[in-house]
Amino acid sequence: METKEQAFTLIELIIVFVIVAILSQIGFVAFNRYTRKIRAFAAKTAINNIKKECETNRDLGLDSIFTLLEPKGYGINSRNTNSCLGEIGSGLISAVPNISNDYPSYFYDFDSGDISCDYQNSKDTLFKECINLPPNTSEKFGPDSGLSCREVKKNLAKFNMGHVYLSGRSRLSVPVLGVDIIIGNKSWRVEGVRAPINGPAWQNDDRWLKAFAAKAEETINESKGKFSAEIDKNNPGSLQIYGPTGNVQKNIELKIDPKDPISPNNSVFSGTNPYAYPSLGTTSGSLKYTSENPKEIETTTVCDGR
């Protein structure tokens, strides 16, 4: 009786290789996180040991120095290399990582006896206890958003009901002209907005302005870059625009497209088609508005994943 030898098919081998590759990747990520945790723990332990040695020497009336032992991947900084008095200026002894984006820094204050830490990578939750950010007051990008958090500057765009043209008729809806929102060298095009309006009482109907603000929020949040936005809870027709820290552009500009989005050849100064467009701050040119924020723009925290 002949016996048939069993062997793996090509498909089975490919599946095995894929599974092995996935498991290897998972193992590498887990090992990397474990290694970073161990190195950070070693740095924290080193700072704790420095604290104990400095305070013991002080109590015994000995020199205010400590034994310098630098953990792997970290440097210990202080005046005269190993003085318990810390660095000139801050008075802190610091354990600073060689790669600040992967590891936290640890600090010891000899005068107060306090130990603190700071981690610059707010997107990484491995050392979240060391991420020091301003209070988060956002509703859309609050701490429970599930997205990574960052420190930002907040610009407030207070949109107003700039101009409404209904061509003398009672309208049920009105389109909003295309608008460019500009902060520094960053701009967003907001267009395609149409909203209901109470023709006879259009002066008191701001539904189109709220629709514009909602579209502007969506446009900014769907764009690439370091900006995000949310509707101002105190004024649904305005936007809070969050931008990166550093050099801050205080002015927000609003440029109105003088052509109706539905009829591109129809100027806003003539024609029979209705339209509306918002204003912002003060007029700085033909269909152009500029809003100047306070000199000290608020620094806050948002969890927007950017």
236: how many CB neighbours lie within 10 A of its CB?
Answer: 14
Query: Domain ranges in the chain?
Result: 10-130, 150-302
- Say which amino acid occupies 33: R
Give the tokens for residue 191.
Answer: 């267009």
Using an 8 Å Cβ cutoff, are 302 and 242 in contact? yes
d(CA 160, CA 125): 40
Please work out, in degrees rounded to the nearest 5, the angle formed at the alpha carbon of residue 238 by the alpha carbons of 237 and 240: 150
Task: Give Cα separations from 157 to 180, 255, 294 (angstroms).
Answer: 13, 13, 12
Strands 228-232 and 105-109: unpaired
Is residue 266's pLDDT more than 60? no
Please tell me whether residue 157 adopts helix, strand or coil conformation.
strand
Residue 263's pLDDT is: 45
Q: Which residue has the higher pLDDT, 166 or 217?
A: 217
Q: Residue 139 in 3-state DSSP?
A: coil
Concatenated DSSP letters of 29-86: HHHHHHHHHHHHHHHHHHHHHHHHHHHHHHHHT--SB----PPTTEEEE-TTTTBTT-
Global pTM?
A: 0.63
Average pLDDT over residues 21-25: 75
Q: Is the confidence at residue 44, as pLDDT, over 70?
A: yes
Residues 6+ apart with CB under 8 A from 12: none
Query: Which pLDDT tens digit goes with each residue over 168-203?
Result: 677 888 888 888 998 888 899 999 999 898 877 888
